[in-house]
Structures are given as structure tokens and as C-alpha cells.
A and B are shown apart, each in its own frame.
Chain A
Amino acid sequence: MLNVLGVRIHQKKRTIPFPQSEPVLPDRFRGRPQIESSRCSSGCHRCVDTCPTDAISFNSNKITIDLGRCLFCGECSAICPEQAIRYTTDYRLAVRRREELVMSSNELSLATALQEESRRLFGRSLKLREVSAAGCNACEADVNVLNTVVFDLGRFGIQFVASPRHADGILITGCVSRNMLLGLKKTYEAIPDPKIVIAVGACAISGGPFIDHPEIHNGAGAILPVDLYVPGCPPHPMTILDGLLRLLGNIR
């Protein structure tokens, strides 16, 4: 018993004081890209050719990145001779509408809060059901990690529950395989109205690296009405937490 207490003291309190203070992310973390189209003088389009998910395009000489497809692999940045694309350590990436993920300037319309009535219902207690629909266990792991003492999701009133009947919404990871379509739909239908839908990761938003495989449905967007998109492959837990708190109006 004394041993247990000793270890408890030694392991200390490790919950990060978010959102009161900014988290420290590794210097090599690849978050929101910084686009400087003016640097792109040669127009070599190597970034377009190298992007594994064809997330990059040119619109009247301006570089456009679809963060819904982006794997944040950084290969565009590495190949660009002019450094027109750089990845910053800004982890705040979640948005409310799919088209807001298509970035041509460096502004991202970060997620706004739910409407007043939904916030009254969910603002202090949001129960979510997680469905992995052909996720690779990276997004799942980084959602799960929010339950550890580091992030302590429960202090924000957000909890993952074991039945859709207990849930206010659904959090989807994975590209939605054909074999998970029915399971996903049934889970959604079993959640009482009103309900919200959160898509986490490039797969759930667009299909990610599996885009257009005949075995998948290119993400949740075509199947369910998504309220929050959290891009990344996988998104950093801070990105997910930031998105959830913005949706509930805890961060503005």
C-alpha cells in the first residue's frame, strides 16, 4: 500500500493545462501548411506530382491544398525548390464544413461552436460513440489517448460510451470499407436525435491513402451529415481535442 502511494507521488500530476496554456509540440511536427504562392516562380508542379493523394492543385497560379486529403507527409515541402510550402507546428485544423479544408490562403476557418440549442444540450455533457470503419488503428489510438491522464477528456464533459443508445453523437475514423457500411449506418440510426457526426482523419474525410479503392466509400461525408472535420494522418490528439472544444464553444 505504501509502495502504491510512493509511486503515485513520484509519477506526479501529468494533466496538461489545456486550453489555459498552449501545448508544446515537437519541432518536426507537421501541422497547418504555410503556402507562399509568390515564391513559386518556376511553376514546376513537382508538389502536385509528388502528392500521394493528389491534394495539391493550382488555381490561377495559386497553390491550393485540400487538407481533407492531405496526409501531412511533407513530401511536397521536401521536393519544392522554392520552399513555397512549409508545414508549421500549428495543430489547430478542425473545421465545420468540408470546403473549408481546401486552403489557398493561409487562413483556415477554424470550427465554430454548435448552435445555441445544441450547445445547451451538449455543451456540458457530450457522449460519443466511436466507430472505426476501416481505420488503421492510428486515428483510433490518438482518439483513445484523450482518455489518458495527459488529456483527461472527462474534465470537459466529453466521454466515449459503449452503446449508441447512450450517445449524443458519433465519431468516425477510417475510410469506411464496404464491409463496415452497414455497421456504421446502423450505429448512426441507433443514436437518438438530435445527434452530431465527427469525422477524424484523412480516411474518414476523403478516403485518405485509399481514395478510390473499390473496397471503400471514400470516407464518411458521402454517407452521413458531418458536423466536424478533423484532418490529419492521424491528427495529433491536440488537434482532435481542440476541434471538440471549439465545437462545444469552450474555445473560440
Chain B
Amino acid sequence: MNTNSICVIRNGEIIPLAHIPLISISEFRDTVIEKVASGARISAFWGQPSGKAVRLFAILAQDKYATLALLSTEVESSYPSLTPNCVQAHWFEREIAEQWSVTPTGHPWLKPIRFHPSYRTGRDPSAVTGEQIGLTDFFQVGGAEIHEVAVGPVHAGIIEPGHFRFQCHGENVYHLEISLGYQHRGIERGLMEQPAKRRIHLIECSAGDTTIGHATAYCHAIEALSGCQAPARAVFLRGIALELERLANHTGDLGALAGDVGYLPSMSYCGRIRVDFLNATALLCGSRFGRGLIRPGGISLDVDESRVKELLRHLNKASEDVTEAVELMFDSPSVLARFEGTGEITPQTCRDLGLVGPMARACGERLDVRHDFPNGIFRFSQIPISTWHTGDVFSRALVRWLEMQRSIQFIRDQLNMIPDTGLRTEIGSLPPDTLAVSMVEGWRGEICHIATTDQQGELTHYKIIDPSFHNWFGLAIALRGQQISDFPLCNKSANLSYCGHDL
């Protein structure tokens, strides 16, 4: 492998487009396959129009070295698919095919992921884009005793829409196919085509339960491009808000897991304590989801000493309550009997699919952007990685609880040492023809944003990769060999975002 085939950057850095190696598709293909085989992970793999062609970029996370390998190639209408040799490319190639009408020849399972018309004008989209959502050839298992179960898009509870197609033999699931796209709102295109004043709001809504995570990733990208630094005070408060978001969502998930196995005490308590964590965020900025807090250049609202004390009081009370509620659940044999051994994912499958976040850490993988690619507050204060090795529902629940304890301690520590600086710096002009990469460990895992500017220094392309994009396929695989009645439990143990995937 030629070392000139890649360039290396770090999280939160920029690089002129001209410095990104533009190599032939065969070299690109070989490099990605070889790097992934030797331990790298595809963080991003996307297309951008380049004249009449499409320029494909890949970002390979080298977690052990805290570096990101960046490479690119140009393709016209087709190229040899990477997926047969590199499973991690599977979903990315489907996205590229749908967005840019570029066929990855030899892709074993080429079909739309969001069901929208091609972004590339003048191209026949029929090969890869679906005319109507849901009308597609689902993978089917044959046999007289096999039956198919279809669920969604509208679900029984108050959750987002998506379609699930199970191939069952009796109660046993042989295969699950997850078909999404119902939530597609055109965020990536909207960021470019709608007035610039709407951008931060679209970002905040890309996955509404991860408002802080996505807004922070966006702001890091814009700040890196403009060469400005958010003041230290803002950096600390962003970090505190990010961990509060993790606490609220993990608490909600643990409660919902208890509910899914019929353990009502922990379900009721966690449902209420989640609100306490949300209210702590509301204490910071008025919005329970952190809307309006994170802004390019810093944050919008300050905290004084009395507010810090109040926040600490909220946090201590909620952490005391949640400890009791969660320990009750983990002490209950009937809960453990349902959690243990359910929806197992092996470490090998986890690496093959490139899973991220708590789902990967529950397979024993030591992956965490806060630790591996620290940016923002995590350049100053470290947070240890929490893992467990069993890969099942129990493991995913336990990893959440371990992370919560770390987050609580982290916020307590940070609240005592918020630096006394300004809140916000001016965002200057952006450099022309430059690309910025920004990663944040949201509560679901690695959020990756990539911003590109044109010759005038205006944003010309924006890519969002929610952790759910990596993980949905992992959920489908986790269901193989399970009882269909365990689907709600497995689904909740992953709790992936529909809108974060569909954008």
C-alpha cells in the first residue's frame, strides 16, 4: 500500500480538499479493505458531486492511534463494491447508491435505505431508489412452516416509525430485516438549500433526543473551519450538558428495559428520574432537550454560582434515586433471567459490522470518542471507558449503568472548576475548499459530522452520521435465533434513532 493513498488527521481538524489524496478506485478499494482488515473502522464513507462525477471519501478511524485516515476517489456511474470484502461498507454503499445513482457492482444486497429520489440530476434512479417506501423485495426464508411477521411503520407505542420484517419458524426468528426511511426530512440538503439561519435548528432536530450531541459536533466543525476556539467556560458547560443528556437517556432506557420484562418498580422510578435529569438541562437553558444552548462559537447562556449549586443539588438527588432504582432491578433474578443471554452479539460480529457506542462496548470493545479522539472538554478531563463482555441485553443495560456512574462523577467534578472566561467568540469567515471532521460521543455512540466549503468559503456539503447508522444492522443480527417475543427487549436495549438514521 502506498502511504500517499491516505492522509491522516485528528478529530476537530481541517484539511484543504487539495491535500486529500485522490486515488484510483482500485487503490481506494484495496486501501479501505486492507485497513479495515487490520483493525480500522469505517467512520464515514460518502459521496459528493465533483463536476459530472462523484467523489467518494472515506474516513477510517484508527481508534488505537487517535487518528483518522482520509482518502478519496472519483467514480462516474459504477464501481466495484467494497462490501463483499468489507462488510462495514454495506450500509454506506447503499446510501451512496441511493443519493448519487452510483452502482456498487457486486453489492450483495443493494436496495434503498431511505426511499428518496436521487440527488444527482439527469440520472436514472430506478436501479437503486424506491418509488414508494416499503415496496421492496424483502429477504425471505422459504419452507412450508415459515411465516412472516410485518410490524410498522406505525408502532404500538409512542415511538418513531420504521418497518420490521421477521422470518419466523414458530416463535424463532431466523432473520429480521429493518426497512427505514419513513422519517426522511431531507436534513443534509436542507442545510445547504434553506436559509443559513436555520442550520443550527435543523442540526438540533436531526435526532431530537441527541440535541446536545449533534449541536456540539456541528459547532466543533464550524469552529474548526473558521479557526476560532470556543471559550473554556463554554467548552465546560457543553461537556456538562452532553453528560446530562447521556444520563437522561440512559435512565429512560434502563426504565424501559425494566418495563419490557414486566418489572414495574424500576420502570416507574426511572421514568420519573429521567424527567429529573431533563429538568437539570432545563435549569441550564430552559429547554429539557438543551435546545438553544449550544451555538457556534460557544454557548448562549451563562450559569452563576447559585445555579451551579442548584444543578448540583438536582444531580445529587437524581443520582441517589436512580442508584436505588437500578440496583433494585439488577438484584432481581426474574429480571436477570430475561436479560442474560438474550440478543447476543459476538465481539467478531461487532467488529465486522463496525458497531459503535454502548452497543459495541457491551461486546467488550474499547471504543469511545471521548477517550479515543478527545475534543472539547475531554481534552482536559478524561472519562474512563465502561465495557462489559457478554454482548447480550444484560451487557447493554449494565454498560449504560456503568457509564451513568462515570457521568455523574464527571459532572460533579466539572461543576467545581468551570473556568472564568467569556461565553462566545465570533465566528470568522470560512476558508475555501476545505473539509472539517468532527466527532462526538453522543449517548448512542459516535456522531460524525463532515463539513466542506467551496471556492468562496461557503458550506457546500454537510454529512451527518448518527451512531444509529452504524448500529441498526447490528440489531437485525442480534435477533437471529431469538424468540420473536424478545424483540421489544432487544430493540429497547439498542434504542436506536429512526430520525437520526433517516435524516
**B interface residue numbers (CB < 8 A to A):** 114-116, 133, 153-154, 156-161, 181-187, 189-190, 194-195, 197-198, 200-202, 204-209, 211, 252, 265, 268-269, 271-272, 274-275, 279, 282-289, 291-292, 300-301, 321, 324-325, 328, 331, 497-499, 502
Contact = CB atoms under 8 A, between A and B. Distances in A.
B282 A29 contact: yes
Contacts, number: 184
A149 to B, nearest CB: 5
Nearest to B186: A215
A129 B331 CA distance: 35
B293 to A, nearest CB: 10
Contact of B208 (A130, A141, A150, A179): A141
A28 B282 CA distance: 7
A251 interface: no
A137 B271 contact: no
A234 B208 contact: yes
Interface in A124-139: 129-139
A162 B155 CA distance: 7
A140 interface: yes
A141 B185 contact: no
Given A145-B271, A147-B271, 19 more contacts: A3-B331, A7-B325, A11-B325, A52-B195, A129-B154, A130-B157, A133-B161, A142-B288, A145-B274, A148-B272, A174-B183, A177-B185, A179-B116, A183-B182, A209-B204, A213-B186, A213-B190, A214-B186, A215-B186
A129 B158 CA distance: 8
Contacts of B205: 136, 138, 203, 208-210, 233
A71 B291 contact: yes
Nearest to A174: B183
A150 B321 CA distance: 15
Contact of A28 (B153, B272, B283, B499): B283
Interface string A145-163: 1011110000000001011
A73 B184 contact: no
Contact of B286 (A29, A49, A139, A187): A29
Interface residues of A, number: 67
Find the residue from B159, B206, B497 having the highest chain A CB count within 10 A: B159
A50 B186 CA distance: 22
Contacts of A28: 282-286, 301
Contacts of A141: 208-209, 252, 289
B208 A209 contact: no
A33 B499 CA distance: 29
A160 B154 CA distance: 13
B182 A180 contact: yes
A229 to B, nearest CB: 19
A179 B133 contact: yes
A166 to B, nearest CB: 11
A148 B275 contact: yes
A26 B278 CA distance: 11
A7 B206 contact: no
A135 B195 CA distance: 21
Contact of A26 (B158, B201, B279, B497): B279
Nearest to B263: A4
A16 B197 CA distance: 38
A64 interface: no
Contacts of B200: 52
Given A14-B272, A28-B282, A215-B186, A210 B202 contact: yes
Contact of A4 (B161, B204, B265): B265
Nearest to A11: B269
Nearest to B163: A183
A179 B194 CA distance: 21
Given A7-B265, A26-B283, A136-B499, A183 B154 contact: yes
Tell me which of B209, B272, B282 has the highest count of chain A C-beta atoms within 10 A of its own C-beta: B272
21 contacts: A3-B331, A29-B282, A73-B292, A74-B286, A129-B154, A134-B182, A134-B184, A135-B160, A136-B205, A137-B159, A137-B207, A139-B208, A141-B289, A144-B158, A148-B268, A148-B274, A162-B157, A177-B182, A179-B133, A183-B153, A212-B194
B291 A73 contact: yes
A11 B271 CA distance: 12
B209 A137 contact: yes
A30 interface: yes
Nearest to B160: A132
Contact of B499 (A135, A160, A208, A236): A135
A149 B499 CA distance: 27
A210 B200 CA distance: 12
B198 A209 contact: yes
Contact of A134 (B158, B185, B291, B300): B185
A95 interface: no
B269 A130 contact: no
Interface string A24-50: 001111100000000000000000011
A54 to B, nearest CB: 8
B286 A132 contact: no
A26 B197 CA distance: 27
A149 B159 contact: no
B227 to A, nearest CB: 25
B35 to A, nearest CB: 34
A71 B269 CA distance: 31
Contacts of B268: 148-149
Nearest to B181: A179
B201 A209 contact: yes
Given A28-B282, A136-B207, A130 B158 contact: yes
A52 B198 contact: yes
B271 A148 contact: yes
Contact of B190 (A130, A142, A144, A210): A210
A63 interface: no
B272 A149 contact: yes
Given A134-B499, A142-B288, A180 B185 contact: no
Contacts of B265: 4, 7-8
A223 interface: no
Nearest to A136: B208
A71 B325 CA distance: 35
A209 B331 CA distance: 45
A78 interface: yes
Contacts of B133: 179
B49 to A, nearest CB: 18
B180 to A, nearest CB: 9
